[in-house]
Amino acid sequence: MRFRLVFGCFVTIAPAASLAACGRSSSSASPDASANDAAIVVFDASGEIEDAGEDVAEEPYRRPDVHRVLHLGDSTVGFAGGLTKALRPRFVDAGIKYYGDSYTAAGIQSYDDDKDKRLQVLIKAFKPDMIIINMGMNNLTVPHPEVLIPHIKSLVKKLIGDGPVPRVCYWIGPPSWKPDRRLLNPVLAENTPPCIFFNSSNLMLERQRDKVHPTDKGGEVWAKHFWYFFDTGKELIDDDWVDGGGH
């Protein structure tokens, strides 16, 4: 029988099962902990100590292999301009069909309620294997966005579908603007999985006269950052990215 000491916890590893003597380590552990605290040591029956090495490396990121993308949501989708105008050629150049649909004044709750069956009709018409949704701009001023969680989760279920293979889904969070209470995006990030959440709140985007909707130039910046995230699985940190949020 072998034993592991992992961050101060003994784990017994038996041939058929593993029993842990303590829970997962807290994410609030001190960053000043020494290297010895983080070591993983294996004890075997002979009493010899064996170094178990570093954590197993994650598999390299692979961009989703999709063929038909439906991009839908509120007016920040851009209609024929803004984000849509900038994203479409990127998908087309990658050999992916791209369809966009913008819905003026749409909010998380109203889009989930879907009284006119708009979402169902779009999915049936375009049969996407990936959906991108822009949703939340019209909910940024909600003082308690946690009340939206049931609608967020309900929307996610509709987006991924009920087929044998879940549909690929990206939820693009709203870019910050002045009335933003900075409460919604964390709620979205926590409750949109298995959709992949893209946080736009740190982007500096040029806006139209209403100070809300991006111009075509702002849409180009937004598309550049989303495409990088989609293509590499990483955030693009450049001059358009501002820690703490952009307006």
Taken in order of first residue, the domains within the chain and their CATH numbers are 2-51 (no CATH), 68-232 (3.40.50.1110)
Q: Computed over its alpha carbons, how large is the radius of gyration of the chain?
A: 22
pLDDT digits (tens, 9 = 90+) for 156-172: 999 999 999 999 999 99
> Sheet harboring 168-172: ordered strands across?
97-102, 68-73, 130-134, 168-172, 196-198
**Do residues 21 and 11 make contact, with C-beta atoms less than 8 angstroms apart?**
yes
The secondary structure of residue 27, as a DSSP letter, is T
Partners of 70 in the β-ladder: 99, 131
pTM, two decimals, is 0.75
Beta-carbon contacts of 154 under 8 Å, excluding residues fewer than 6 positions away, are: 112
Dihedral of CA atoms 23, 25, 28, 32 in degrees, nearest 10, equals 150
Say what the pLDDT of residue 177 is: 77
Per-residue pLDDT of the chain (247 residues; tens, 9 = 90+): 544 443 344 344 444 444 344 444 344 444 444 444 444 334 344 444 445 556 677 789 999 999 999 999 999 999 999 999 999 999 999 999 999 999 999 999 999 998 889 999 999 999 999 999 999 999 998 999 999 999 999 999 999 999 999 999 999 999 987 767 789 999 999 999 999 999 999 999 999 999 899 999 999 999 999 999 999 999 999 888 886 655 4
Name the β-bridge partners of 91.
none
Q: How many C-alpha atoms does 166 have within 13 Å on its Cβ side? A: 13
pLDDT confidence of residue 141:
87
Q: How far apart are CA 204 and CA 247, in angstroms?
A: 6
